[in-house]
Structure 1
């Protein structure tokens, strides 16, 4: 007979909001030019055990890539609202592996979720939870060191897109 247990921790999370006077389409285009989508072929290589080739391709990637995106604004159409909002998963597979090798639970937050939304007044807003705060819950300095670097890369990329 199996047993289960449950444990709930409360953590403090730092939430970042970056506001821009630039229009939504301009910020979205700039983000997607500077942070490219990841080539899913890398994951195919990994599934088939082509680890050395996948590693070479991963090492050639920029600091951040877009793993996926969802049009959250379109979802609001189901309740009669119209807004511009895209949810992105942004990160780097090697960065994730540098954290999850020390604590596999860090995979819960890698890649990082970022929301790009209109502000309702012609401007644009990025929102996300700081990597250093969400990964800090694991209490491992090795994970924290990687998270600090990710935090800076993410902030730099989003501020550049918002400029």
Structure 2
């Protein structure tokens, strides 16, 4: 039995980016950026003698957004058995070089690094990308350096979401009109 259990309540902030892209196009856009195969993280650790070597090894897998693919879970492949006919993929993505900027301030940031996004098929051949803002999960107690690092992650993830959903194009179009 545990000596003590500590409960720390917190509130997450969910963001949803609706896209005019089809589900397939959204999945393709995301994977074109972060990679189509999961990064072999443990192999990168094994082949690196020190932090500098690890950084160089990681950089080989980082996409334009600064993220790499860790895993994908095709929920749509199994929820059909329960009568739910939707395409849904949960994608785990991140970058150990970003994660360390938070982990050095609070090791429990590792609960939410790497991050996850959910890609969903929507009506009318549209799609959506949804995630919970990392800072709303990671920063649960006052910690300014952790909050600054987590907000940088928020900005990088939002930029990726805007880019792959095409929302950045829509924002600039709306601003111009």
Using the size of structure 2 for normalisation, the TM-score is 0.83
The runs of at least 4 consecutive aligned structure 1 residues that moved more than 6 Å come to none
Check the 8 A contact 1:24/1:84 in 2, yes or no. Answer: yes
Structure 1 spans left out of the alignment, 5+ residues: none
Answer whether contact 2:39 2:69 (CA < 8 A) is retained.
no
Aligned length: 161
Aligned to 1:97: 100
Deviation per CA, 1:27-69, whole angstroms, max 9, x where unpaired?
11011101225530x4224246623422222245341111111
CA distance in structure 2 between the partners assigned to 1:7 and 1:121 by the alignment? 46
The alignment partner of 2:84 has SS state of coil
* 1:110-149 alignment runs, 5 A limit: 110-149=113-152
Q: Distance in 2 between matches of 1:23 and 1:5?
A: 49
The answer for the alignment partner of 1:69 in structure 2 is: 72
The Cα shift of 1:120 comes to 3.1
- Output aligned runs, 1:1-163, within 5 Å: 3-36=2-35, 37-40=37-40, 42-47=41-46, 50-51=49-50, 52-60=52-60, 61-62=62-63, 63-163=66-166
Moved more, 132-141 or 107-116: 132-141
**What is the RMSD computed on CA atoms of the aligned residues?**
1.8
